Amino acid sequence: VSVQLTKSTEKIGVGLIGCGTVGTGVVRLLQEQAEYYAKRLGRRLELRRVLVRDPSKPRCNGMVDRALLTDDFESFIETPDMLIVVEAAGGRGLVSGYVRGALDAAKHVVTANKSLLAAEGAELFALARKRNVAIAFEASCAGGIPIITALLFGLAANRIEGLYGILNGTCNYILTEMTQRRKTYADALAEAQDEGFAEADPALDVSGCDAAEKLSILASLAFGAAVETATVACEGIDRLDLSDIQFGAELGYEIKLLAIAERSQDQSRSPATTQQAKLSLRVHPCFIRGDLPLAQVHGPFNALAVYGHALGHSMYVGRGAGQMPTASAVVADLLNVASGWYPRAFSEMNVWLDQQPPAVLSDPDDLTSRFYLRISARDVPGVVAKVSAILGQEGISMGALLQHEVAAGQFVPVVIVTHEARQGAVTRAMKKIENLDVVDGSPVCLRIVDLPAG
Ligand code: NAP
Ligand code: HSE
């Protein structure tokens, strides 16, 4: 690496871009734990400059010397002896230019910015390689959980079969509040924003886009194939109906926004194959059995269940959003970069997101799953027979049926749980059911995800 971090360097200069929720947490840790980090590293991490949009704004409860603040990138990047730049600003545009500028100036970069990495990771990593510096990005996925380290290093011996993650703290918080405390979607979202979990634009959270960006990064690392976020089939929680959450609970299921990356089923049966994985990539609300460990992950917590061919199932749980949990991951990256091991591992273990072949995707219609269907049907003779005839024509078998009593002739929600069925067949059946004269509106269709044994 071009920036040698040797034991003789007494202080390691750090620059910070962005001093909002995450940046403030980083400043706090660097101050409060200064002695502890110095003892562990054998050197001091010293905050040399902080780049923000508005240097006159009060911030960090006076923890940052005002003289360190600037809104001028040129003077920021020219700060003497600044070896590492932490980017905690978020978004792309100007911030992308700052990160590129930092790499170009041969600074190691630590970033929490999944949007930037998901969209521009390949170019940034190529630039980092050219300049012999590292990009550390633990905080970009699943907040404080060290999942990047686990995938890159701890699980390095494994061929990964599947990832099943709760990767957005805001959505998990909202779903928990709606399910357990009967809060409205709007109230729960406002609380998540107050707590600092949500993105500056919370539409990124509730649309599933944030989780899709994280999944594209994690899947690239896990499967060694470049995953573009646009190829992740994505549905958010913004159109979920509380009645479905309640029907699901009645049937023993918990609603979760899951981010899933798995090898196509035929490939995962032959772990020895060297052919490139065909991947199914998706983010969507779904039901999982209430007794599964993932179902017990509530509030702003995130979790990732990983299936490795040697290890089998392992699961990583922790706070996925918020000031100090995210700062925990950022500062861990800082320490790992400052100690020199991460830059070395980065160059020697081929941790380069720009050198992977594009991911090969499986056909979404071939995906098999159980499904939860809710149909608003008029309560008259023969309705269920008509619905089940359509399902039968498409080869879909019913596993459970739930209907609460209403006055005869009224519209009533009819809930059906299917046995395993192909996505394509279910989509066709839903269209036919929607056209029945006894059915009101579009049926609701949610997947029921059965996690692999292991
Ligand atoms: P935030 O509270 O909105 O803070 C953003 C900070 O960046 C502000 O200090 C802002 O300056 C500064 N900034 C924004 N654009 C800038 C620009 N063009 N030039 C200079 N400074 C700029 O955001 P956050 O919640 O801390 O999130 C930061 C990053 O961490 C994002 O990438 C986010 O996705 C990621 N992240 C957040 C969490 C979380 O729980 N919040 C968790 C994991 C990852 P001003 O203060 O002057 O406006
Ligand atoms: N907005 C994100 C979330 C922050 O709610 O999970 C962590 O990336």
What's the pLDDT score for residue 60? Answer: 80
308 lines ligand 2 (CB under 6 A): no
pLDDT at 352: 76
pTM of the model: 0.94
Contact (Cβ atoms closer than 8 angstroms) between residue 360 and residue 65? no
Q: How far is the CA of 168 from the CAs of 171, 191, 198, 244, 336, in angstroms?
A: 6, 15, 9, 20, 25
Evaluate: CB of 318 within 6 angstroms of ligand 2: no
Q: For a ligand 1 pocket test, name from 19, 22, 28 the mutation site with the most ligand atoms within 8 angstroms of its C-beta.
A: 22
Choose among 129, 130, 126, 128: nearest CA to 109.
128
At residue 58 the predicted structure's pLDDT band, cuts being 50, 70 and 90, is: confident
* The predicted structure's pLDDT at residue 386: 96
Beta bridge partners of 89: none
302 and 318 Cβ atoms separated by less than 8 Å: yes
Residue 241 tokens read as 């109906």
Looking at ligand 2, which residue's alpha carbon is closest to its atom 4?
A: 321
Contact status, residue 287 vs residue 252, Cβ threshold 8 Å? no
In this predicted structure, the answer to whether residue 4 has a pLDDT above a threshold of 60 is no
Query: What pLDDT score was predicted for residue 226?
Result: 93
Q: What is the pLDDT of residues 270-323, one digit of tens each?
A: 554 556 779 999 999 999 999 999 999 999 999 999 999 999 999 999 999 999
Confidence of residue 2 (pLDDT cuts 50, 70, 90): very low
Instruction: Kindly indicate the confidence band of residue 1, based on its pLDDT and cuts at 50, 70 and 90.
Output: very low
For the segment 255-273, the average pLDDT, to the nearest whole number, is 75
Rg (Cα) of the chain, in Å, rounded?
Answer: 24
pLDDT over 50 at 3, yes or no: no
214 is catalytic: yes
What is the percent of the chain where pLDDT is above 90? Answer: 88
User: Phi then psi for 284, rounded to 5 degrees?
Assistant: -165, 155
**CA-CA distance, 430 to 190, in Å (whole number)?**
34
- Cα distances (Å, whole numbers) of residue 113 to 140, 164, 305, 411: 5, 21, 22, 47
Q: Distance (Å, rounded) from C-alpha 247 to C-alpha 195?
A: 29
Mean pLDDT of 189-204: 95
The confidence band for 407, taking pLDDT boundaries of 50, 70 and 90, is confident
169 touches ligand 2 (CB under 6 Å): yes
% of residues, the chain, pLDDT over 70: 95
Positive/negative CA dihedral, 217, 221, 222, 223: positive
Residue 87 is classified by DSSP as: E
pLDDT tens sequence across 22-41: 999 999 999 999 999 999 99
